[in-house]
Amino acid sequence: MNKQMKVVIIGGVAAGPKAASKVIRMCPEADVTLIEKGEFLSYAGCGLPYYISGVVKDQKELMSTPVGTVRDSVFFQNVKNIHVCNYTEAVDIDRSKQEVTVKDWRTREIRSIQYDKLLLATGATPLKPPVEGIKLNNIFTLHGVEDAEGIKSAFSERKARDVTIVGGGLIGIEMAEAFHKMGARVTIIEALPQILSFLDWEIAQLVTKHLESKGVKVKINTKVTAFKGTGNVEKVLTDKGENACDIVIMAVGVRPNVTLAKNAGLYLGSEGGIKVNEYMQTSDPNIYAAGDCVETMNRITRKLCFMPLGSIANKQGRIAALNICGQKEKFQGILSTAICKVFDFGVAATGLSERKAKEEGFQVITVLSPAPDRAHFYPTAKPIMMKLIVDKISNRLLGTQVVGFGDVAKRIDIAVTAITANMTVDDVSNLDLAYAPPYSAAMDNIITAANIAKNKLVRAYTSITPMEVKEKIDNGDDFIFLDVRTQGEYDAMRLENTTLITLGKLRGSLSELQKDAEIITFCKISLRGYEAALILQANGFTNVKVMDGGILMWPYKVIK
């Protein structure tokens, strides 16, 4: 290998700096140049909502090392021996000459930089639909430190506090909390039938209910048609009405920034990102790409997908650097794992949703399993609600979604590991997980959920989803909706069309129920509902079902 290998990296936020740093560690004699159009380098973009809300006090904290050193151009030069050209845009790639043409936005100088290996880490560009009034002041995207500063400035200058967020994805939801924390009245407008489209509907609805409990308005199935105002935005018009606002955040997604790659004749993939192989190599063997500008492979379906996340970008940047330096290391793909904080609620998912699994042709069973995140008697125990998606044929875990007040991150990370290892629910149910009351129950949430899945697979009982129950109610079907909680629980919160017989009194009340009737049992989490179903079946009742998830995972309104 040439001792003076010239490596040029375009993009200085996530994948680019990670790759540059790894190249220097692997090949300290390499000549590494990092080109960044903006001012700021290697910052935590996912931390921007928390900087806007004031949780993170200083923007420098977003671009500092764990010991507080700011990762600026001086840091990269003195510590890493990486030459940084910020305020510099790469405008052209000449593959035959192996050089990049760049423009310095401060001096207006245009020059060429030669490379032996080139890495494209050009990221993604936020979408701004061509809606009337989109260019009014105080309509923002959140795609960098500059955007964050603009939002903070606009918010402080306005007397009113009405904020509309267009888009109910991760950024939109995180910004809703940020503005609420700042004292704003917040409305989320989402064109789809639910927020957080990577979740199944009933899990997303639990998040919606939590947002609404905090005072955030959520409008689904609603399309923005125009923005109105004189200079500054003053109202948002939709196909279902209008609402006043002082600030708008456009959070409808991003598209991979592939202009340079396309103009250079590099292959693009079916999802619009740069096409790379498992070594992060493009169609030109001397050019690599990583981060939000590329497509990657889903580990379960083996299909290409686009998932712009900083965690993925950093891993890909490292893999690209290893291969630039002559190693052969593969990027194995992703499970589209995501997590976010929604006030005091955690929301996480990995693998395939039920909807996606069915689209991919899997025959699935699902489990809804709510429970405390640690021993129920421990003072800090908090509920979490979990959904498993399991392949009926192989018993393999395909996906997991977890929401709630407790520790969702721990369970989603267990699920990530299990899916990556192609574990069945039998494997998951036998995991030797750590137990102590401050950290988990003796049978951890994911083990309990796996055991429920096993029971379903062997048809130990018949289950029914909350959505199927609601459809029966709405259709006026004749069935007994049997609540087996206590009278006190029932008085505090109940569902419509229910019959109350507490579990302790059920054996003595069997004569009150028709043996040929359809009976659907439930309780707070449907553990007692399961016990009730077993009692009924043992006494000759033949049409008994248990409602998955109980009242905690009922995605509709409850009677209080």
Does the residue 332 lie in any domain?
no
Residues 245 and 271 grouped into a single domain: no
| Tokens at 467, concatenated | 């959505």
Give CA–CA dist 514/530, Å, rounded. Answer: 19
Contacts of 417 (CB under 8 A, 6+ apart): none
CB 168 within 8 A of CB 196: yes
Residues 348 and 410 grouped into a single domain: yes
Indicate the pTM of the whole model.
0.93
| Tokens at 347, concatenated | 């929301």
Strands 6-10 vs 117-120: parallel, antiparallel or unpaired: parallel
Q: What is the pLDDT of residue 96?
A: 97
Does the residue 1 lie in any domain?
no
Q: Tell me, what amino acid is at 448? A: T
Our count of domains for the chain comes to 4
Please report, for the domain that includes residue 14, its CATH number. Answer: 3.50.50.60
Strand partners for 118 = 8, 287
The yes-or-no answer on residue 340 being catalytic is no
Helix (H, G, I), strand (E, B) or coil at 365: strand
Residues 247 and 284 grouped into a single domain: no
Give CA–CA dist 446/386, Å, rounded. Answer: 8
- The DSSP secondary-structure symbol of 281 reads B
Reading the chain (560 residues) residue by residue, the pLDDT tens digits are 446 899 999 998 889 999 999 999 999 999 999 999 887 777 777 888 888 888 888 887 877 777 777 777 788 887 888 999 889 999 999 999 999 999 998 899 999 999 999 999 999 999 999 999 999 999 999 888 888 888 888 887 765 589 999 999 999 999 999 999 888 999 999 999 999 999 999 999 999 999 999 999 999 999 999 999 999 999 999 999 999 999 999 999 999 999 999 999 999 999 899 999 999 999 999 999 999 999 999 999 999 999 999 999 999 999 999 999 999 999 999 999 999 999 999 999 999 999 999 999 999 999 999 999 999 999 999 999 999 999 999 999 999 999 999 999 999 999 999 999 999 999 999 999 999 999 999 999 999 999 999 999 999 889 999 999 999 999 999 999 999 999 999 999 999 999 999 999 999 999 999 999 999 999 999 999 999 999 999 999 999 999 999 999 999 999 98
Helix (H, G, I), strand (E, B) or coil at 241: strand
Give CA–CA dist 412/339, Å, rounded. Answer: 9
Residue 516: give the domain boundaries.
Answer: 463-553
Q: Could you count the other beta carbons within 10 Å of the beta carbon of residue 458?
A: 7
Q: What is the pLDDT of residue 1?
A: 43
Torsion 271-277-279-282 (CA) sign: negative
Pick left, alpha or beta for residue 485 (phi over 0 → left; psi -120 to 50 → alpha; otherwise beta): beta
Does the residue 388 lie in any domain?
yes
Q: Residue with structure tokens 């009737």?
A: 517
Domain end (from 392, 426, 457): 457
Q: What is the pLDDT of residue 68?
A: 74
CB 128 within 8 A of CB 153: no
Give CA–CA dist 410/394, Å, rounded. Answer: 25
| Tokens at 355, concatenated | 């909807």
Q: What is the pLDDT of residue 158?
A: 66
Choosing from 27, 46, 325, 340, the catalytic residue is 46
Residues 366 and 435 grouped into a single domain: yes
CB 523 within 8 A of CB 484: yes
